[in-house]
Structure 1
């Protein structure tokens, strides 16, 4: 608990003075004011995060938290539970969706076993196992409060270590059969929404299986009765090790003043958990795409963030992050290299302002 408290206490707001200067520079570039839209907002937000007017990314890393979920016993997924271990191992072979997309943008992966129901003899998988999967949340809490804190601190420690290694842009990924179920439960409680609204089909359920999944989420919430005003109570009772670990990644990034990107539904639930622990976390988060899972849009609205892309993706793994990395780096490169009106010997009156 010491690291978590220290992290929460050391998260500061972004640099508002630099934000003001960044807008002044951007508005003086040879274009109509506001004409680069979200790219301008990204560049300004990055300035606030780093405290520097001009920024470029040196090293990128997608952290993938892998863990199993006891609720799989209830038939909420079409995939057998051992798929979690198989795909976790496959991340090290550079053959999964996120691997290929990360390679394309020269991003590294950090694969963390935070609670897979199997053991690995693979040096590329970091063993931070809290337990061999969570408990079945329809029979009681998914994990203890202490385990939830431990998972969050694993996320913080992971970011702390990578920042020391020079990484300055992070993505968030996960692997865990059943984690769209736990994410829907967490979002339902934290947002005060009926679980039917936020439960999606995950890995491709039939209509009958989909109805069953909704019932399971509702049952888990009713049995555990988590306190929506106590994030640790929520994530320990109806969450997952991966969600808690990623929550720690968001907190760690904010503490270290480095940008971090949300992937899909599970990462969105984790970001909301971090935001509930310290709202300043939002100032360090960039959303990537809008997941096709229904709960994602509600998480984005609560966070007040607008996804950069809508590609109807729902793979998870962190697969949306490399796409966002491309956009972030494009925004920074554009702002750093465009000429000002003075440099281009142009007069602002020739441009129509649109912001």
Structure 2
């Protein structure tokens, strides 16, 4: 089989920052995978599309299907423009889609952006729908990134992504363990938006606020945080618990941001059990890694035995798009890209539907 692949990875997170497009090269050499991000960009969503995606869970069945197809068309068009702009020749596209529902206990997980429409408008083969098979096998269908962490970022003890929802991945006793930790940018961006900001730049607003210990206790209270893995979070849970708690609080927004950063850092600390003696390397990616105040808090809570490392801005911003491109490669090769030890499925599986155009 080919040992080098050129793939476009697509990711749209729950924080609605936009569509991440990453053109990546993967080379298999001496039993190791080597990656390069060759071109990458984030396409900011229009206000209309943000409203459609944000309100998709309350849309009628007919409108939801229409949006599923329309978002696939939009995604394919953006990929086609990206390919022409950079004069590149990708082998295929791998798309995560935009999550609307994720309730694996009910065997439900829906990512908008129908693969057939992406393929038709990008004029490229597409790999998508990475979660459904794992859920059919009684797994959580999430997290999906850990196989990429294991094969592309093996030098780190922990890989943490601070996206709309924070998650962690690590190896323990020769098994990959991963789970969603808590809501992250979904909370921080919502709070920033309430004072007219798209996000809290470098944690400036949070740094100016004060810690409310009662609110912190409420944010830390849900049983999910003490439940064992495998486990995963969806937007529905965040709306019902963390965001509801923040909305009910009468504290100033800066204080809510400060307290939320402490909540996130404390939950991250709780998730990072010591794996061995000595120093632990922690890779921090996702939009939250640009929040200097949150990163400082995390390092303070973890202490000197942990080294929190924020990589290049390119890897911080596009690691998830990179790894979904990689999941597409594994699916293309017919190799497992979803791990039983992470999701709780009956066995490792090769997730993803392929659309050829």
Between Structure 1 and Structure 2, the one with more helix by share is 1
With the length of structure 2 as denominator, give the TM-score of the two structures.
0.30
Higher relative contact order (CA 8 A, sep 6+): 1
Between Structure 1 and Structure 2, the one with more strand by share is 2
